[in-house]
């Protein structure tokens, strides 16, 4: 399917549209097969302010499909559903969207750039020595109406960045470092103490970082939000960051997490191998 050479009728005549398929295993797989848990796989706890829906939470096998063509995504999903029949039962599925061409860092439904300051060194922060990683998935409802009622300056104080440029408050460029120590003439922090970028800053985790990918979703007329994906070496990093966010992040007043999951992403495979062979082989 990813090469465009599939004989599946659902994909007949379609370009592969940069289709990628990422597969991961949840904590339940290790329990089901009596396997020694790999590295530090954990059950992500429920945090203060979460309102988790069991029909959007967890899962033993996670599959992420990405492509530039939504019709191709639908066809590929249908094929995988059929191939998994009798073995896997669908638990939840969400369609997330983001720009596909030439717009720089994508913006979320609050109008701010989402995904700035991702790590440059993926070998240090994301990939384990064996080529595996962890993926945390969070389905976050966004109260766009309440957030939009704030002034632009009020919105920027919540996020800690300028809305138009994406630059940290007090800076001019999106790629400028976040200065946690900068103060105004009257002694106040330029970036408020409860601003999202300050509370989530890697400085508070010894410099450890995660690779973040945000996808906007529309569940129905009453709910829109962010399908937040984060890849990292150790999921305990996410737990530490989210605990801080749930207690002091001003953005928490405009968001509510409805779904949550963790998957171990095994190393990639070469011709003739199969996904998860290092774990189940």
Looking at the annotation, which residues are catalytic? 114
**Between the CA of residue 56 and those of 52, 59, 226, what are the distances in Å?**
7, 9, 13
Phi and psi at residue 27, to the nearest 5°: -55, -30
CA distance 20 to 137: 17
CA distance 66 to 96: 9
> Which candidate, 227, 162, 221, places its Cα nearest to that of 197?
162
**C-alpha neighbours within 13 Å on the C-beta side of residue 172:** 0
> CB of 24 within 8 A of CB of 189?
no
> Which candidate, 65, 103, 68, places its Cα nearest to that of 81?
65
- List all residues 6 or more positions away from 27 whose beta carbon is below 8 Å from its beta carbon: 37, 41, 42, 43, 262
> Which candidate, 43, 1, 41, places its Cα nearest to that of 19?
1
CA distance 22 to 73: 13
> CB of 181 within 8 A of CB of 263?
no
Kindly state the DSSP code that residue 146 receives in the 8-state scheme.
Answer: H
CA distance 115 to 106: 7
Phi and psi at residue 173, to the nearest 5°: -120, 145
CA distance 116 to 114: 6
């Amino acid at each position: 399917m990813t090469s465009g050479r599939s004989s599946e009728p659902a994909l007949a005549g379609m370009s592969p549209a940069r289709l990628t398929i990422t597969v991961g295993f949840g904590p339940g797989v290790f329990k089901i097969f009596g396997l020694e848990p790999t590295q530090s796989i954990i059950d992500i706890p429920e945090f203060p302010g979460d309102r988790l829906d069991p029909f959007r939470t967890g899962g033993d096998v996670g599959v992420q499909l990405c492509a530039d063509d939504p019709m191709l995504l639908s066809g590929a999903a249908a094929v995988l559903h059929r191939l998994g029949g009798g073995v896997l039962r669908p638990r939840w599925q969400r369609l997330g969207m983001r720009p596909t061409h030439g717009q720089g860092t994508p913006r979320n439904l609050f109008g701010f750039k989402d995904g700035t300051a991702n790590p440059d060194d993926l070998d240090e922060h994301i990939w384990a020595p064996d080529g595996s990683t962890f993926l945390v998935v969070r389905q976050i409802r966004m109260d766009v109406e309440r957030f939009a009622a704030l002034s632009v300056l009020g919105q920027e104080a919540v996020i800690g960045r300028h809305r138009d440029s994406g630059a940290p408050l007090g800076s001019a460029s999106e790629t400028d470092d976040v200065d946690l120590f900068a103060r105004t003439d009257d002694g106040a922090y330029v970036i408020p103490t409860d601003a999202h970028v300050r509370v989530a800053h890697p400085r508070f985790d010894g410099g450890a970082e995660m690779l973040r990918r945000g996808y906007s979703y529309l569940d129905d007329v009453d709910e829109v939000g962010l399908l937040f994906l984060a890849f990292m070496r150790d999921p305990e990093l996410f737990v530490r960051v989210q605990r801080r966010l749930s207690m002091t992040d001003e953005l928490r007043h405009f968001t509510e997490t409805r779904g949550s999951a963790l998957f171990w992403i095994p190393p990639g495979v070469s011709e003739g191998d199969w996904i998860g062979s290092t774990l189940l082989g």
